[in-house]
Every structure is written in structure tokens, then in C-alpha cells.
Amino acid sequence: MLLVPFSRAFPFCGDSWTVNDNFIRTVNGGSEGCLVVGPSSAGCEGFLRLTPTEWKILRAYPSSQNLAKVASSTGLPYSTVVDVTRRLRERGVTVHYVPKLDRLGVVPLLVVMEGDMPPQTPAYTVYRCEGIGKRKYTVLHALLPDRLVHDYLSLLPKEPAIEIRGLDVRYWDPRGRLTRYDAGRGVVVLDESDFEKVLLSCWEFRTPEERRWVDWLDLLILSYKMRNAYAKLSSVMKKSSGFVEYAPSRQLLSYHYRMHVVPLWRVNAIRYELQGPCPRKLYILEGKPSAAAACSLVEAPYFHEAVVGESAACVLSQHPCALEAFAYKVVYIASTVFSSEVDMEEIILTEFARYEWLTPELLSRYREHGTWPPPSELPTPQP
């Protein structure tokens, strides 16, 4: 894959791995700095519109495992939180449980293939997309144990042009340091005032936690919580009837949730889709500062999630036109500040589909054998 080398476009990017601190202060020193990007006063087309109460609740979701915690942290009545959550869900704003992948023994994988690919998608895939950049691409993002990556890749019809075995997956958070709510217009906008601090801090990763074995009931609960973070355990009880003759009791599920699933919880992710002309996009980054650039991007609104590897990353976005230049500016500044080239390609997505990660077939096999089954032994999941 041919990517755009930013250090060639801006020749003062050197080869050494040093931080050019003065450069950030120069370009981001005032309100007229090159990172000032946001909706004009003429309109807010393509921006996420929320009332002040909706925004207050949205900000509480990532750190709240249940709606009672949302009510407690916001000071709003529980009934209001329930009503607003239902209303947001009807508008396509959903909340999803994000587990600690290291404790599950799972790694993120992202592969980019040139051209078309048959519709069959291997198990463990969480999303698949097709798009146009310099060429036509098919992209798969999966979560699976490292020992199963080779089996997963063997199911693909061609060799990937790019393969990212990620260290982490980062998600946009309404509390992100580059995110701000404009109460006057009722929209979520970019706030680059702390960009220097954000970029320099995004090179640091949290220390991985020790892998733990998990019971199939833990994964069953996870499968529901990853679709809806506030799903009731009664819904999980109904689903379990497809795996065992007698559904586990609510007391047993509550025990597994409190003792096993809660320690696996990392954060809640928020998903939404903008209505209108804004297409989804993927940004493929390669180079040493890719991690810092990608993690900085998901601190900003409309950059939804990033698969981050040691020297490559991928960012999924759906942003309004007013933020079109932001990804390029972040990569340009990261290349300059860290004195190391970042190559980037933008892929405009024409197709996008999410898949259930913990499928019934996968859970059934895990229950029987107590280990993650190879993707080659599982049926193709449906979006």
C-alpha cells in the first residue's frame, strides 16, 4: 500500500526520535493556530446534536457500569436517566461494554487487503468494511488469542497488504481532552486547546494485566454487555437456554457478574452514526509516531476508535466536513514533533458492517472445551 509520507511533504521532519516541543507551541499557541477546527456560525450540519441533559448523561456512560451509577454521578433522577438513555438509543446512540483484552488473553488484529473479498468473513471479526483510497480495499478488524492469528489469516483469500497486531484498542470518550460541548448550539465540537499535552501523553500505554482464565458464563454475560452495556441479567438468562438444558439461575449469573465480569470491565464505549452526507472513513497510519497520532485523534469527537500497534495504527471516523483537515494536521504535527515520518492513507468507506464477536457457536465450543476454538472450526458469522 502506498501511503503519503508527511516528512517528505514537510522536509524539516528528521530521522531521530526526539520531541520538538517548540514546534507544538508555535502552531498551537493561540486561537488562530493551525489546529483550530470547528463548525462555523453559519450552521452545524453533520455534528452530533444533544441537549445539555443528554450531554451530561453521555459523559457519565464510560465510567458507569449501570444506570444507577449514571444517576448518582450526574445528580439526575434515575427515571430521567432511563428515559434519556432510551431516547438516545432510539436515535442510534448506544453504549457498549469494553473488556480488558489482556485479561482475556485476546489481541486486536486489523488486516487491509487490496481489492474485493468474498462475503464469507472469519469468526472473531468485529467489523468488516470496504472502501476506496488509492486503490479499492477490504478491511477486517478481529479480536482473538494471538495463537489463533495464523489460523485466522489462513482463511483469507489473499495476503494482507497491511497487518496490524495491536497493542490496544482506544475508543472516543465524551470526556476526551479534545472534545467540548457547545451549549449555545447544542453540538459536540473539537477543542484543541490542550493538544500539546494530549499528543505528548498519548505515547504512553497502560501496563498489561495478567491473563486470567474465564468461564463460559462470564463470556455469555460479556456477549450481552458488549452489545448493550446496560442489558439486564434476565436477558442473559433467556439466551443461555440455547446452550444448556437448564438455564443458570439469576443468583449464579449475578455471582459471575460481580466476581468475574466486573473485574474484566475496562470502560464503556459509545457508538453513533451521523445522518447526512458524512461518510465513514479509515485512516491507516504507519511509522513510529502512529500510536501517539491515533490515540490523539480518538480524544477528539467523531473519531470513534483506533487499533494501535507498535508502528502502525488504524482510526475509524465519521466526521463532519469542518473537521476534514484535522487528521492530516495531527499526523503532520506528530511527524514533526517526534522527528519521525508518519505515512497515512485515507480510505472512504462504501460498505461497513459490525459482527457479533462472541457468537452462540463460539460460546458453545468454549463451554465444551474451556478454550478459545480456532476460527477455521467455526461458522461464518452474520452481520
Angle at 29 between CA 26 and CA 32, to 5 degrees: 105
**Length of the chain in terms of residues written:** 383
What does each C-alpha distance from 193 to 32, 59, 102, 293 come to in angstroms? 11, 19, 33, 16
Using one digit for the tens of pLDDT, what is the confidence trace for 220-245?
999 999 999 999 998 888 777 666 66
Packing angle of the helix pair 233-240, 216-227 (nearest 10 deg): 120
Cβ atoms of 372 and 34 closer than 8 Å: no
What pTM did the predictor assign? 0.87
Cα–Cα distance measured from residue 285 to residue 369, given in angstroms and rounded to the nearest whole number: 38
In the prediction, which pLDDT does 237 show? 81
pLDDT confidence of residue 35: 32
Pairing of strands 107-114, 312-317: unpaired
- For 59, other C-beta atoms within 10 Å of its C-beta total 20
Phi, psi of 370 (to 5 degrees): 70, 20
User: Beta strand 343-354 with 4-5: parallel, antiparallel or unpaired?
Assistant: antiparallel
Under a CB-based contact definition with an 8 Å cutoff, are residues 142 and 166 in contact? no
**What pLDDT score was predicted for residue 7?**
38
H, E, C per residue of the chain:
CCCEEHHHHCCCCCCCCCCCHHHHHHHCCCCCCCCCCCCCCCCCCCCCECCHHHHHHHHHHHHCCCHHHHHHHHCCCHHHHHHHHHHHHHCCCEEEEEECHHHHCCEEEEEEEECCCCCCCCCCEEEEEEEECCCEEEEEEEEECHHHHHHHHHCCCCCCCEEEECCEEEECCCCCCCEEEECCCCEEEECCCCHHHHHHHCCCCCCCCCCCCCCHHHHHHHHHHHHCCCCCHHHHHHHHCCCCCCCCCHHHHHHHHHHHHHHHEEEEEEECCCCCCCCCEEEEEECCCHHHHHHHHCCCCCEEEEEECCCEEEEEECCCHHHCCHHHHHHHHHHHHCCCCCEEEEEEEEEEEECCCCCHHHHHHHHHHCCCCCHHHCCCCCC
**pLDDT tens sequence across 336-374:** 999 999 999 999 999 999 999 999 999 999 999 999 999
Residue stretches of the chain with pLDDT short of 50: 1-19, 22-43
Which residues contact residue 132 at a Cβ distance below 8 angstroms, ignoring those fewer than 6 apart?
347, 348, 350
